[in-house]
Copies of this chain bind each other. A is one copy, B any other.
Amino acid sequence: MNIYDISRAAGVSIASVSRVMNGAGNVSEKTKQKVMAAIEATNYRPNAYARALGSGSMKTIGIMCSDSTDIYLANAIYYLETALRKKGYHSILCCTGYDLKNKKASLDLLRSQQVDAVIMAGSKYVELEPRNNQYIIEAAKHFPIMLINGAIEAENVYATVCDDGYGTKEAVGKLCGSGCREFIYIYSSDSLSGRNKLAGLSAGCRECGIGSASFRVVQSGKNYRDVAETLEREYRERPFDAVITSSDTTGVGAVKFALRRGLSIPEELSIVSFNNSILAESTVPELTSIDSRLKELCDRTVRSLMKLLDPGEGESTVPKCTVLRPRIVARETTRF
C-alpha cells in the first residue's frame, strides 16, 4: 500500500496525494475529499523511511544519559521525552554508562542514525579534561547538541544548567543561621557540577565566617553503606553538626549514619541533600533537599531545541547557556 495505490484509488496523481497528506494549501476541496476517502478506506500510512529519505529527517532526537536507573536521570528522560513528543519528535534513548569510550560510541551511533539533534542529560558528559570533550564539539558540526547541567563553549552546543553553587552556598548560610558550626560535605563522584557545588560551599563558609578547619570535604562510594561508614569514620575523628551531600542518594546514607549512631536529627545533626527527588521524601526524617529544578531545565532545553530545528518566524536567538537558580526545599532534617 503506497502512494501510487492511493493515487489510483482516488483517481488523482501522487502529487495531489502528497499535497493532501502534508496539508499543502493548493488543493481543491474535491480532490482532497477523494484522497481522504481513499486513505481512510485503505488505512494508508506513508512510509516513514521514504519520507525521511526525501526530507532528510525522521524527527528523532537522541537522548544520552549515563544511567536511566539514576532517579535524577530517569526524571530527566521523562520530562524530555514527553516534551519532545508533544512537539512531534521521537526520542532515541542511549544509556551510555560513565565510560568515555562508550559515550563516544553512543554519540557516534546516534549520528549514524541521523538524529536531528542530541540531548546529553547529566553533568557527567562534560569531562574535566577539555580535550576529552572534543568528540562533542566534533559531533556538533553535524547536529545541535544540548547539554543539561553541563556546559562547554563550542559552536552549535547549547547548555541549560542549574547554578548548583548558589544552592550549596545558600545551604551553608541557612545551616549556619540555624546554629550549625562544624560542616562536612560528602560526594561520590567528581564532575563539573560537583566542583560548582564545592565552590558554592567555600563561598558560603567565607561569608559566614566558617574557617577551613570547620569545613571538611570527603568522597565516598555511591551506596548507602559506603556513605554511612565514611561519615562514621569522620565523626569519630571529629564530630560535625551539619552534613551537605551531593545527591539525595548520599543524603539517605547520611540519615542512615545518624540513625545508627543515635544522633538526633535535626537537633544534633542537620542534613541537606541535593536534587529533591523522591528519595528525599523516603526517609524518616525526610530530607531537606536542594531542588535543582530539573523539569524546568528539561523544558527549556526542549524549547531551545525546537527554536533551533525550525527557526520559524520569531527570529529570536537561542542563548548558548541558560542558568537556573535552585531552591531549597526544607523538610525535617534541618531547623530552618
Contacts and interface: CB of A to CB of B under 8 A. Distances in A.
Copies of the protein in its oligomer: 2
A224 B282 contact: yes
A239 to B, nearest CB: 21
A56 B252 CA distance: 49
Interface in A230-285: 252, 255-256, 259-260, 278-279, 281-284
Contacts of A95: 77-78, 81-82
A243 to B, nearest CB: 16
A interface secondary structure, majority:
helix
A282 B283 contact: yes
Contacts of A69: 74-75, 78
A78 B93 CA distance: 9
Contacts of A49: 49, 52-53, 56, 58, 114
A24 interface: no
A128 interface: no
A68 interface: yes
A67 interface: yes
- Please list the 10 inter-chain residue pairs (A to B) with the smallest Cβ-Cβ separation, ordered nearest first: A74-B74, A49-B52, A49-B53, A68-B78, A48-B114, A93-B93, A69-B78, A282-B282, A259-B284, A68-B77
14 contacts: A48-B113, A52-B53, A58-B58, A68-B74, A71-B278, A74-B77, A77-B93, A81-B95, A82-B95, A90-B109, A224-B281, A224-B282, A279-B282, A283-B284
